[in-house]
Amino acid sequence: MEKVRRLTDIVGNETVRSLWDGLVAACGEREFLLFRDRTGSTSTYTYRAFNEEIDRAANVFLSMGVAAGERVAVQLCTCPEFMMCLFGLAKIGAVMVPMNEQYLVEEAAFVLERTEASCAVVEPKFLDLYRAVRDSGPYCPKGVLVARTHDDKVEGVEEARAALERDGSLRDFSRLRAEAAAELDEVRPLSADDPAEIIFTSGTTSRPKGVVLTHANILFSGLYGDWEVALTKNDRLLTTMPACHSNFQLAALMPVLTVGATLIVVEKYSASRFWSQIREFKATVTQCVAMMLRTLMLQPASPDDRNHELREILYFLPVSDAEKEAFEQRFGVSLMNTYGSTESIGWVLTDPPTGARRWPSVGRAGLGYEVRITREDGTQADPGEVGEIQVRGVRGRTIMKEYFNDPEATARTFTEDGWLKTGDKGYVDEDGWFFFVDRKVNMIKRAGENISTTELENVLAGHPRIAEAAVIGVADPIRDQAVKAFVLPAAGARITEEEVLAYCEEHMAGFKVPSYVEIVDSFPRTCSMKIEKKLLQ
């Protein structure tokens, strides 16, 4: 393994702080970020100007007594402040915990408790959520910072300003940043092996797990992305992905940074405006999930459909051959197919940056990775034989370090000889091209969001009139999969589909709420009394 590390260690002891120091020195006046908010306004930052904003954010955290290694939760929409927090915390050795912007009280409280986050930075519209969280337990002992209060266009900003006047436990992050120095007040020792972020990702268990990413992990993702897309400083990468997702951070933001290119962030995806934004910002690379591809194809054809400068679209998991061919023919740009996960850091399987591709293959093993297909007994599968996709890299460098405070889950995820078990099914052909077959058991992929059916079933079972529930994914022509819940009422009880949906809307994030509910009298079961989900439709 040490030999593997030496061969793949393209990061060395670089950290987020030293990366930004180098960027400011090399290309400080170059355009780093263009941010298009949901109202249509655009903000622009050079590398030097954004680094100053990062240092201001870091100094706010220092003034609050945030220590090295301490966790700070951040629940913001996609915005510059999200990136300021990510890099500002990393520069002082603290650890950011990004929160999905659709989390409700129970989900947010779980992550805050799990990570023992000392404070939180929140969007104005999430302020009521954090008040409820604060009232339910000893969360965020160093306080709650309300961001984006300087912007009149941000949802909930007037209410947040009023709350800041009344509630002394809240702090105005925008005001504190404006008052802070534009250079770091304290330069702490940092190592590439230090944790920088914990991203919670849904799993097959009832609760999400926190993936620990080091400075080296984050920097590797950037260098890997540069290789994968042949990115140069002249590229302009446009993304509409949510900032809390690894798709945004590891496949867009970091590759732009490590090569000194330009990032265009569109806060809210719109199929009707997407191509005009691509043209307006002169984007050369973008990202796309199946939902986006399908909604773009539903737009009226235009003579400008092929009038753009895109050379590559990073694409995550397959659509049908007919859909791909129709999209590429209409818009005149190819889809680069990839496969990976937050745990694997990079898209470990990818189409090559140059040369032939083999659709619907998700590509070959990329820089710094080994990938294999195994049978249930752990032996290597033959070419063409479907088995589990497993990945080998260097923990804390090219793959995740661990699951936060969960050694048992970490141990279950790795084989004795260090292979990361994805649980996903696939096969490899004679020429080394890999093909994705199916997602992890009990996982639903909905418009780019991973949803654990076990988690939803446990939430449903908490209803006093529900005895048991089973959740499955069903085909959705736009969003990959929709969520369907089968509900068995408690003995002697009655419950309607409308009541089930109302309960879900109250207890889970919007993207997890079922699209369909069916009340059943019984479930088909195996001999061990487990629900036989394959018989549910």
**Whether the Cβ atoms of residue 315 and residue 268 lie closer than 8 Å to each other:** no
User: DSSP of 126-185, one letter per residue?
Assistant: GHHHHHHHHHHSS--TT-EEEP-TT-TTSTTHHHHHHHHHH-TTEEEHHHHHHHS-SS-S
CB atoms closer than 10 angstroms to residue 178 = 12
Stretch 496-520: mean pLDDT, rounded? 94
User: Using 50, 70 and 90 to split pLDDT, how confident is the model at 455?
Assistant: confident
The token duo for 291 is 């939902």
**pLDDT of 234 higher than 50:** yes
User: Cβ neighbours of residue 460 under 8 Å, at least 6 residues apart?
Assistant: 466, 469, 471, 485, 487, 500, 503, 504
Residue showing tokens 């109250």: 506
CA proximity to 317, closest of 449, 430, 204: 449
First to last CA, the chain: 46
Q: What per-residue confidence (pLDDT) applies to 524?
A: 87
Q: What per-residue confidence (pLDDT) applies to 166?
A: 92
Q: What per-residue confidence (pLDDT) applies to 439?
A: 65
Share of residues in the chain with pLDDT > 90 (%) = 73
CA separation (Å) from 275 to 286, 292, 306? Answer: 11, 12, 9
Highest mean pLDDT among 85-99, 285-299, 376-390 belongs to 85-99
**Whether the Cβ atoms of residue 42 and residue 281 lie closer than 8 Å to each other:** no
CA proximity to 121, closest of 104, 146, 102: 146
Looking at the DSSP bridge assignments, the partners of residue 12 are none
User: Using 50, 70 and 90 to split pLDDT, how confident is the model at 246?
Assistant: very high
**pLDDT of 204 higher than 50:** no
> CA–CA separation, 315 vs 229, rounded Å?
11
Q: What is the 3-state secondary structure (H, E, C) of 398-448?
A: CECCEECCCHHHHHHHECCCCCEEEEEEEEECCCCCEEEEECCCCEEEECC
User: Using 50, 70 and 90 to split pLDDT, how confident is the model at 52?
Assistant: very high
Pairing between β-strand 312-316 and β-strand 335-339 as defined by DSSP bridges: parallel
Q: What per-residue confidence (pLDDT) applies to 527?
A: 45
**pLDDT of 8 higher than 70:** no
Q: What per-residue confidence (pLDDT) applies to 440?
A: 66
CA proximity to 324, closest of 284, 365, 296: 296
User: Using 50, 70 and 90 to split pLDDT, how confident is the model at 528?
Assistant: very low
Share of residues in the chain with pLDDT > 70 (%) = 95
ω into 303 cis (within 30 of 0)? no
Stretch 304-319: mean pLDDT, rounded? 88
Q: What per-residue confidence (pLDDT) applies to 401?
A: 96
**Helix (H, G, I), strand (E, B), or coil: what is residue 533?**
helix
Domain ranges of the chain: 2-215, 443-535
Pairing between β-strand 31-36 and β-strand 42-46 as defined by DSSP bridges: antiparallel
Q: What is the pTM of this model?
A: 0.85
**pLDDT of 135 higher than 50:** yes
User: Using alpha carbons only, what angle is made at residue 44 by residues 39 and 48, rounded to the nearest 5 degrees?
Assistant: 150
Q: Would you state the CATH architecture of domain 2-215?
A: 3-Layer(aba) Sandwich (3.40)
User: DSSP of 217-234, one letter per residue?
Assistant: HHHHHHHHHHHHHT--TT
Q: What per-residue confidence (pLDDT) applies to 50?
A: 99
Q: What per-residue confidence (pLDDT) applies to 450?
A: 76
Residue scoring higher pLDDT (231 or 444) = 231
**Whether the Cβ atoms of residue 315 and residue 335 lie closer than 8 Å to each other:** yes
DSSP code of 521?
A: S
> CA–CA separation, 66 vs 70, rounded Å?
6
Q: What is the mean pLDDT of the chain?
A: 92
What kind of fold does domain 443-535 have according to CATH?
GMP Synthetase; Chain A, domain 3 (3.30.300)
Q: What per-residue confidence (pLDDT) applies to 529?
A: 54
> CA–CA separation, 149 vs 161, rounded Å?
7
Buried b (16+ CB within 10 A) or exposed e, 343-376: bbbbbbbbbeeeeebbbebbbbbbbbbebbbbee
CA proximity to 254, closest of 290, 281, 216, 308: 216
Q: What per-residue confidence (pLDDT) applies to 441?
A: 67
CA separation (Å) from 395 to 215, 281, 401, 463, 501? Answer: 12, 37, 5, 41, 41
Q: What is the pLDDT of residues 78-109, one digit of tens each?
A: 999 999 999 999 999 999 999 998 888 888 99
Phi–psi pair at 305, nearest 5 degrees: -55, -35
Q: What is the pLDDT of residues 397-421, one digit of tens each?
A: 999 999 999 999 999 999 999 999 9
Q: What per-residue confidence (pLDDT) applies to 317?
A: 65
**pLDDT of 4 higher than 50:** no
Q: What per-residue confidence (pLDDT) applies to 369?
A: 93
